[in-house]
Homo-oligomer: A and B are copies of this chain.
Amino acid sequence: MRILPVLCLLLSAFVLSPASAADPLPSWNDGAAKTAITEFVAAVADPEHADYVAPSERIAVFDNDGALWVEQPIYTQLAFVLERLKTMAPQHPEWQEQQPFKAALAGDMDSVGDAGMEGLMQLLMATHAGMSTDEFAAVATDWLATARHPRFERPYTELVYQPTLELLDYLRANGFKTFIVSGGGIAFMRPWTERVYGIPPEQVVGSQIALKYSTDLGTPVIMRKPEIAFIDDKAGKPVGIQRHIGRRPIFAWGNSDGDYQMLQWTTAGDGRRLGMLLHHDDAEREYAYDRDSHVGRLDRGLDDAAGKGWVVVSMQRDWGSVFPAAPSQALAHP
């Protein structure tokens, strides 16, 4: 029973502290975007509010590339692919003439971008199939530990957005379950999303290549086959949500037209909902791009946001900081 007085002391400290008054989103500047978030969360988490939502239905979905971490000048996963392509190229002379391999090996990112998400998937298959799921996770983890972003010269897992880290924490503190719903490869994200975002592998939805269970070599393995199983982009996102989560989110966070249907599906449901689009308009601290970008194009979303009640977040205006200040912060995240 020695522990009881200690627990009560701790409890007193908690109850007495002004924690509830502290700003849960310190990296967000005051303004319409921040207010939209806090008012939404206050409403759906308050049992006395007309817009109350039961905790089990508080599902929040986040795109990853350009929404939770940097996607310029090229998708991080594409940078990963390029290094492997170069390593494998001597064994594949046909790639010198075949797109999008030729462009990728030449570093012609415009042409690779033109090939879209499906082109990216082709490069992914060629470089990432024919090995087990465990082997692939190890390769991805090893690469991320040493790779550096060409402009910021930091590991990619430190080029996550501090304001969205706070948003994820804030939503979870208010009973939300947070999911990633990304066009990127699910197996490329899962090895690090729990450490960096606090999102466990089972709450990551993404594009997938086909898998096959095999005991051919005695020890059971799951092999990665060179075949696209699912592309979790555009109209694929609501399908990925349904397949994986099985209920409709009430909060969606994206940044490109690839997220359009995810926001549409999320916000068209009954009751209170919130859809948000991050607008990359900050060339100084990050990048500025929208309607004409090969990567993360945002065009239709900008046109339709107001009519659909989606909140456009200006990186320049609404965010007080972009990346975590010190490496230790990003790495220490749960």
A residues near B (Cβ < 8 Å) are: 1, 3-4, 7-8, 11-12, 15-16, 56, 59, 133, 177, 179, 186-187, 190, 194, 200-204, 208, 211-213, 215, 219-220, 222, 229, 235-239, 242-247, 261, 264-265, 268
Contact = CB atoms under 8 A, between A and B. Distances in A.
A129 to B, nearest CB: 14
Complex copy number for this chain: 2
A202 B177 contact: yes
Given A12-B4, A200-B56, A212-B239, A244 B246 contact: no
Contact of A211 (B16, B243, B245): B243
A187 to B, nearest CB: 8
Contacts of A15: 1, 3-4
A264 B202 CA distance: 21
8 contacts: A4-B12, A4-B15, A179-B202, A211-B242, A211-B243, A212-B235, A219-B268, A222-B265
B202 A245 contact: yes
Contact of A220 (B208, B247, B264): B264
Given A239-B213, A265-B213, A186 B246 contact: yes
